[in-house]
Amino acid sequence: MADKTMVAEFDQEMFRIHERASSEANYNATRFLHMLYEHRGLETARILLHSTNVCGLAPPNKRHFCCHYG
């Protein structure tokens, strides 16, 4: 099991990624933010790392699947 302090720091960094994407790239990653609130940082990272598609890179006919943790 991961150290609670490290998990909390990782969680904060994941939220900072969203903030930077918004402020530096003017990209509003609402689904990513929703995942962070629902699963927190570590589990969101696990979900995304195990996902077979990344929403923005998936073919248009597959995007609805990947945006729901597919």
Number of domains into which the chain is organized: 1
Each of the 70 residues of the chain gets a pLDDT tens digit; together they read 579 999 999 999 999 999 999 999 998 889 899 999 999 999 999 988 888 765 555 555 555 544 544 4
DSSP 17: H
- Amino acid 17: pLDDT: 94
Which domain does 48 fall in, by range?
A: 4-66
pTM of the model as a whole: 0.71
- Amino acid 54: pLDDT: 59
